[in-house]
Structure 1
Amino acid sequence: MSIDNRVNAETVAANYIAVWNETDAGARRKLIEETWVAEGTYVDPMAELAGHDQIDAGIAGVQEAFAGLVFTLGPVDAHHDVARFTWNLGLPGAEPIVIGFDVITIAEDGRIKNVLGFLDKVPA
């Protein structure tokens, strides 16, 4: 698959960030199922998650640890079935507490297959 339409990759990335910001458990689970394939994975330096249940639990844990903070999406760059982007976590309008960089692989149906996350700035 080739993602020739940058808007598509930006939409997938925006949906991904929306999942991380959704605090209602039922709505978040629905977004996860719409955003990730069933066997999708998420890997970063602190987590290795596979499938909707683990991804949901991991996101819920991050939301608990960083209650009240929101993720914002940076510029999206994409080619073929891969997109990369930066993101920030913090209070709106304030200096981000966490800054990261993610690489996603997108399935033919437009959902995420894999996420490789990198943490550029984390709290001390």
Structure 2
Amino acid sequence: MKTIIATSALLLASLAHAQEVRTMSTPAQEAAIAQKLIDRHFEIWNETDAARRLPKYPAVDTADFFVADYAGKDTGYANVDRKIGELQKKNAGFRFTPEPITWNHGVGRVTWGYGPKDKPNQIRGEDIFTIEGGKLASARVFIDKH
């Protein structure tokens, strides 16, 4: 009986702590976490070595993370990595230069430039991100038309 009471007390204390942690999160804290994820996301997209990219996905993206753009939707680490490789092959020497994230209740927006070092904004676009469980869950890509 003492074990049941002690276990129940421990469980209640854990639940109270979890609730306290959830309510302590502020929009500014959420935005800071989102910015770190976005920074790491673009590090992955700028990494030209697939062997160095692949181990980074699990810390940044959910297993079913997807990128949706005008060409289609790529889901999961392998498919997203294939997309990155194809993009880099078509645009050798190009890099993403993201601006700071704009955050609004679980959804992030990032505008970016993409181009070579001497013309980093050759292509401009915007990604809309969602976050689930502390990781990026989706990215919807919009490319500015000229």
* TM > 0.5 fold call: yes
Matches within 5 A, 1:1-124: 4=27, 5=29, 6-108=31-133, 110-121=134-145
SS of the aligned residue for 2:35 comes to helix
Q: Which has the higher helix share?
A: 2
Identity of matched residues, % = 28
Q: In structure 1, what is the Cα distance between the partners aligned to 2:41 and 2:135?
A: 9
Query: Does the 8 Å contact 1:43/1:117 carry over to 2?
Result: yes
By how many angstroms is 1:112 displaced?
0.8
- Listed as ranges, the gaps of 5+ residues in structure 2 are 1-21
RMSD between superposed Cα atoms in Å: 1.8
The number of residue pairs the alignment matches comes to 121
Structure with the bigger RCO (C-alpha within 8 Å, sep 6+) is: 1
SS of the aligned residue for 2:144 comes to strand
CA deviation profile, 1:63-119 (whole Å, cap 9, x unmatched): 1111111111113111222110101111225252211100100112x2111111101
SS of the aligned residue for 1:16 comes to helix
Q: Which structure has the larger Rg?
A: 2
- Listed as ranges, the gaps of 5+ residues in structure 1 are none
SS of the aligned residue for 2:58 comes to helix
By how many angstroms is 1:35 displaced?
1.5
The alpha-carbon distance between structure 1 residues 48 and 93, as it changes in their structure 2 partners (threshold 3 A), is same
User: When the two structures are superposed, what TM-score results if normalisation uses the length of structure 1?
Assistant: 0.88
Q: Which has the higher strand share?
A: 1
Q: In structure 1, what is the Cα distance between the partners aligned to 2:120 and 2:96?
A: 12
Query: Runs of 4+ in structure 1 displaced over 6 angstroms?
Result: none
